[in-house]
A and B are shown apart, each in its own frame.
Chain A
Amino acid sequence: MRHLLSTRELSRDEAVGILDVAEDMADVARRAVPKLPTLQGRTVANLFFEDSTRTRLSFEAAAKRLSADVITLSAKGSSVEKGEGLKDTAQTIAAMGVDAVVIRHGASGAARVLADGGWIDAAVVNAGDGTHEHPTQGLLDAYTMRKARHGEASRGKDLDGLAVTIVGDILHSRVARSNLWLLKTLGAEVTLVAPATLLPAGVGSWPAIVRHDLDDALAAKPDVVMMLRIQAERMHAAFFPNEREYAREWGLDDARFGRLDPDTMVMHPGPMIRGLEISAAAADSARSLVLDQVTNGVSIRMAVLYLVLSGGSA
C-alpha cells in the first residue's frame, strides 16, 4: 500500500487485510512491553493543519509502538498560521527526511493533492480531510464491529449482512462517508438517518437506505447504531432550529436506548456531546463501544503505518 487516502478506493480484500494486520497489532498491545522494532529508524510526520487531539495522539501512539520517530506539527502557533501553504509545509517537513506523512487538513482532497502533487516522496496517510474522508476512523469502526460480532474468530472475515444505522450530520461528516464506503465494501447494509438539511445533495444515489425518522430506523432493529457529533454552529446556519429539537428528534435518548435490543452496538466517533446526540446512560452502557473504538484506533493506525512504510500488501 503506497498511501491511504480514502476507504472508497479500498477493495474488500485490501480492507480485510488491513483489519487482519490490526489484529496482530492488537496482540502486541497486550504484551508486557507493547512495542515492536518494525519501524525503527523510520520517521513519521504528523501534519495537523486542523486541531485534533484524539486523532493526533492515536497516530503518535501507533508510530511509537512500532518504534518509529515521530515529529508533529500542529497548525496553532506554527508557520501554517503565518500563512505558509500546504506545499511549502509539506516540502519543509519532507526535507527533514520523513518516510510517512499523516495529514489532517480542513480542505477536502488535501491528502490527495499532497500524494499526487509530486512535491514529496513520502507515503501519505489521510487523517481527515475536510468533509471528504477519515479512512482510519472508518477502518477502526469496521474493526470494532467485526470484533464485537466475531471476537477471536475475526481474522479473514468481513461484515456480511451487518445492519448499521448512522445518525446525525451526514452532510458535514467525513466519518459517515468513510464508514459508508467501507461498510458497503465489507458487505454491511447501511442506513443513514438525518433531517433533509443534514443529508448531502444526491444522497439518493449513495449505496444506503436514507431515513428521516430515527424511531422508524431503530424499530428495524439495526445491529449497530452510530451517532455522529453535532456541531453547535450548524444551528446558526439554519440546519435545525435548536439543540432541544434536535435531541428530541435525532438524539439517542434514554427512551430510545431502552428500546434497543440488548446486543445492539452503540458507537460514536467522539468527541461526544452528552444530552444532545447521545444520553449519558447510552454512552456509558455496556452496549457502548466508544472506548473500544479509541483502543482499536491505535491498532488500526499501527497497521496502516506498517503497511505504507513496509510497502507490503495487506
Chain B
Amino acid sequence: MTGSILITGATLPDGTPRDIAVRDGVFVDAEGLVGATVVDGAGLQALPGLVDLHTHLREPGFEQSETVLTGSRAAAAGGFTAVHAMANTSPVQDTAGVVEQVASLGEQHGYVTVRPVGAVTIGLAGERLSEIAAMARSRAAVRVFSDDGKCVHDALLMRRALEYVATFDGVVAQHAQEPRLTQGAQMNEGALASELGLAGWPAVAEEAIIARDVLLADAVGARLHICHVSTAGSVDVVRWAKARGIAVTAEVTPHHLLLTEDLAASYDSRYKVNPPLRRSEDVDALRAALADGTIDIVATDHAPHPVESKETAWAEASFGMVGLESALSVVQAAMVDTGLLDWNGVARVLSSAPAAIGRLSGYEAPFTAGAPAHLTLVDPAARRMFGVEHLHGRSANSPYLGAELPGRVVATFHGGVATVLDGVLRDPEEVARG
C-alpha cells in the first residue's frame, strides 16, 4: 500500500476534523487526489508519527531479547515511526561501523526510522571518549550520544563529552545515577524498601548528577538531555536550570507517569526497572512537569528481557520493561484522560520535541503538504485489557499485562508506507517492499 491514501474525517491534534491525503510518501492536498485507497478516519485521532528517543533494540549481541526487526514491529504497533536505538549492544555502538549496521537494518525492515545512539565512551566504560565525530559523520548521522545504563559519572569526562559532542551539534543524553550511592540498589529508597529488605536507590543519586550536569552544560555552553527523570527533586532542578536559560531537555518514561513503588511489594520482578518506580508524590510531580513543559518529552526506555532473566528472585532479575506497544495508551491514561495534556500536547511530547532533540528532520510540520507522511491513527475511545497478544517484540516483560488501558493504535504510516492497518501489524515482506 504505497500509492495514494486518503484518510477521511480524522481529527488532527489541534482538534480540527479533516481529510488527510498522502501520495508518494508525503502529505498532499486532498483535493484532486484520484484512485486513492480510502481509510475511514471517523472517530479517530490523527497524530504525527511518534518518535522515541530512548529504545533498546538489543541487536547486535542480545538477539534473544530483541532484534532491530522485532523492536521495529513493536514500535510500529505502538504508533511510532522513529526510534533511537541505545548504544548498549554487543559490540557497543561506539564506532561508525556498528551504528551504520544498526541504521541500515532499520532501513531494510522499513517499519520505523532507526536512529542509532552513539556511546559517549568506548565500551560504555566511562574512561575514554568513543569516536564521536566518526559516528556523527557516518551514514547513520548520529546526533544523540549516551552511555545509557551507565552514568557518565566522571565530572571531567562529562565536561569534555558535552563540549566535544556540541562540536557536531549533538547532545549528550545522561543516565543520571551516581554509581557509589546506588551500589546494589534494587528499588526506590524508603520505608517500603527497608521493610522488603531491598537495597534502596536514593533520589539524591539522580538529583545530584542532574544538578552537576546542568551546571556543567551551562559552564561550557552545551546542550544536555536527561534520560528518564524519575523524582520530584529532579523536576525542581530541571525547572531551575531552564529558568536560568540552560540548554537542558528532559524525558520521562510512561511507567514513571503511571506506576509507583508499591508494586514492588509483590517481589514480582516485572516491576523492577532502573531508575526504579518511585512514590506517588513523584508521579504527580512528573505529570505536572510534563504538562508545563519542564519535562520536554516522553521516551519509553523500552528494555526487552527474556523470560529467564525475570523469572527469579528480585535481586537477581534484570532491570527493565518493554514499553513501545503500551506507551501511547499509558500517556493517554496518565495525561490526557486526567485533563493534564491535550492531543496537541501529546504530539509535542511524543513527536516534534523528541525529533528536535535528536535533530531528526521531517517532524517539524506534520500534516502539511510536502512533509513526510509519518502518522498514526488512534481510537481514543477504545479500552483494552492489555495482554501478550498486544506485544510484538521478542520479550513480554510488560508491567501492564492484565491491566485495562485506554486507546488503541488503528493505523501507522511510516513515510507513506502502512505499517499498521485496521489495528493489525503488517507483514515484514509487505512493509519492506514499501
A and B: real partners?
Answer: yes
User: Quick one: which of A86, A129, A200 has the most chain B CB within 10 A?
Assistant: A200
- Is A174 part of the binding interface, using a Cβ–Cβ cutoff of 8 Å? yes
A107 touching B314, Cβ below 8 Å = yes
- In the bound complex, how far is the Cα of B191 from the Cα of A204, in angstroms? 8
- In the bound complex, how far is the Cα of B194 from the Cα of A174, in angstroms? 10
Closest-CB distance, B161 to chain A (whole angstroms): 29
- In the bound complex, how far is the Cα of B194 from the Cα of A200, in angstroms? 6
B312 touching A201, Cβ below 8 Å = no
- In the bound complex, how far is the Cα of B311 from the Cα of A113, in angstroms? 9
- Is B313 part of the binding interface, using a Cβ–Cβ cutoff of 8 Å? yes
Closest-CB distance, A141 to chain B (whole angstroms): 18
- In the bound complex, how far is the Cα of B385 from the Cα of A245, in angstroms? 58
Q: How many residues of A contact B (CB 8 A)?
A: 29
B-contacting residues, A101-151, CB 8 Å = 105-110, 112-113, 116-117, 129-133
- In the bound complex, how far is the Cα of B186 from the Cα of A86, in angstroms? 18
B189 touching A201, Cβ below 8 Å = yes
Q: How many residues of B contact A (CB 8 A)?
A: 24
Closest-CB distance, B272 to chain A (whole angstroms): 11
B197 touching A117, Cβ below 8 Å = no
Chain A residues with Cβ below 8 Å from B315 are: 106-109, 130
**A87 contact from B190, B197, B312, Cβ within 8 A:** B312
- In the bound complex, how far is the Cα of B315 from the Cα of A131, in angstroms? 11
A132 touching B313, Cβ below 8 Å = no
Closest-CB distance, A181 to chain B (whole angstroms): 9
B197 touching A131, Cβ below 8 Å = yes
- Is B195 part of the binding interface, using a Cβ–Cβ cutoff of 8 Å? yes
Closest-CB distance, A168 to chain B (whole angstroms): 16
A-contacting residues, B199-219, CB 8 Å = 199-200, 202
Nearest to B193 among chain A residues (CB) is A201
Chain A residues with Cβ below 8 Å from B312 are: 85-87, 113
Closest-CB distance, B196 to chain A (whole angstroms): 6
B197 touching A174, Cβ below 8 Å = yes
A177 touching B195, Cβ below 8 Å = yes
- In the bound complex, how far is the Cα of B307 from the Cα of A85, in angstroms? 13
User: Quick one: which of A8, A132, A206 has the most chain B CB within 10 A?
Assistant: A132
B198 touching A86, Cβ below 8 Å = no
Closest-CB distance, A257 to chain B (whole angstroms): 30
- Is B316 part of the binding interface, using a Cβ–Cβ cutoff of 8 Å? yes
Report if A116-B189 is in contact (Cβ < 8 Å); known contacts: A108-B314, A201-B202. Answer: no
Report if A109-B191 is in contact (Cβ < 8 Å); known contacts: A85-B316, A86-B313. Answer: no
- Is B308 part of the binding interface, using a Cβ–Cβ cutoff of 8 Å? yes
- In the bound complex, how far is the Cα of B189 from the Cα of A112, in angstroms? 21
- Is A203 part of the binding interface, using a Cβ–Cβ cutoff of 8 Å? yes
- In the bound complex, how far is the Cα of B194 from the Cα of A203, in angstroms? 8
**B267 contact from A85, A112, A171, A200, Cβ within 8 A:** A112
Closest-CB distance, A52 to chain B (whole angstroms): 16
Chain A residues with Cβ below 8 Å from B190 are: 201-202
User: Quick one: which of A106, A108, A116 has the most chain B CB within 10 A?
Assistant: A108
User: Quick one: which of B202, B267, B268, B308 has the most chain A CB within 10 A?
Assistant: B267
Report if A177-B311 is in contact (Cβ < 8 Å); known contacts: A107-B316, A116-B266, A202-B192. Answer: no
B191 touching A206, Cβ below 8 Å = yes
A108 touching B196, Cβ below 8 Å = yes
A110 touching B313, Cβ below 8 Å = yes
Chain A residues with Cβ below 8 Å from B193 are: 200-202
**B191 contact from A85, A106, A130, A205, Cβ within 8 A:** A205
- In the bound complex, how far is the Cα of B372 from the Cα of A98, in angstroms? 63
- Encode B170-192 as 1/0 by CB contact (under 8 A) with A: 00000000000000001001111
Closest-CB distance, B233 to chain A (whole angstroms): 15
- In the bound complex, how far is the Cα of B395 from the Cα of A78, in angstroms? 31
Closest-CB distance, A116 to chain B (whole angstroms): 7
Closest-CB distance, B179 to chain A (whole angstroms): 14
Closest-CB distance, B189 to chain A (whole angstroms): 5
Chain A residues with Cβ below 8 Å from B313 are: 86, 105, 107-110, 113
Chain A residues with Cβ below 8 Å from B200 are: 201
Chain A residues with Cβ below 8 Å from B198 are: 108-109, 130-132
Chain B residues with Cβ below 8 Å from A107 are: 313-316
Closest-CB distance, A173 to chain B (whole angstroms): 9
Q: Can you show 24 pairs from A to B with CB atoms below 8 A apart? A: A85-B308, A87-B311, A108-B186, A108-B197, A108-B313, A109-B267, A109-B314, A112-B267, A113-B267, A113-B314, A117-B311, A132-B197, A133-B197, A174-B197, A177-B195, A177-B197, A200-B194, A201-B189, A201-B194, A202-B190, A203-B191, A203-B194, A206-B191, A206-B194
The 4 closest A-B pairs by CB, nearest first: A202-B191, A132-B197, A109-B267, A200-B194
Interface residues of B (CB under 8 A from A): 186, 189-200, 202, 266-268, 308, 311-316
Interface residues of A (CB under 8 A from B): 8, 85-87, 105-110, 112-113, 116-117, 129-133, 171, 174, 177, 200-206
